[in-house]
Every structure is written in C-alpha cells, then in structure tokens.
Amino acid sequence: MHITTLGIDVAKNVFQLHGVDARGRAVLSRRVKRQQLLDTVANLPACVIGMEACGSAQHWGRAFEQLGHTVKLMRKFPRQGDISKGELPMVW
C-alpha cells in the first residue's frame, strides 16, 4: 500500500480518510476519531493531503506538514442551493 494522495473529510469528532495510489486506485478508506487522526497520518508515508478549507483544517494542515506531508486546502465545492449571491459569478 503506497498512498500518494490522501483526502480527509474534516469533521467534529470522526474523520473520513480516503487514500489513492499513483494509478488512482483506492488503497485506504478509514474512519478515525479525532484522538487517533494525528497518529494515523503519522504512520503513513509522506503524501499530498487534500482537505476542505475551514478553521480546523488550518490546524491539522500545520500538524501534517510537520510530519513531512504536503497539504492542499481547497475551498468548499458548492452544492445546488448552497451558493450565495456573491459567489455565483465565480461559479459560472
């Protein structure tokens, strides 16, 4: 199992991890509690970690970078009906 990219769904208590290899095949799908997240990511090889940008993502991103990972924060993908007036021109 060689993870090249890891996606983390940041939540309040339980985090969903989804890792893929260089070919894009899923090699990891796991739910971990907040207390286990740092240890779980520390035991993975250095990879690119993608997370939705939010307040706690900044904290986790700094912690993961100290472990040797590359962190990419992405803005929330708007769902239909989840777009404010100010964001509408950016979507279209």
Tens of pLDDT, residues 52-82: 888 888 999 999 999 999 999 988 766 655 5
pTM: 0.79
Q: Regarding the domain delimited by 5-91, which CATH topology (the fold level of the hierarchy) does it fall under? A: Nucleotidyltransferase; domain 5 (3.30.420)
Angle at 5 (CA atoms; ends 55, 75), nearest 5 degrees: 35
28-42 residue pLDDT tens: 999 999 999 999 999
Question: Which of 45, 46, 48 lies closest to 8 in space, CA to CA?
Answer: 48
Over residues 2-26, the pLDDT tens digits come to 999 999 998 889 999 999 999 999 9
- Residue spans per domain, the chain: 5-91
Of the candidates 34, 43, 35, 32, the residue with the CA atom closest to the CA atom of residue 69 = 43
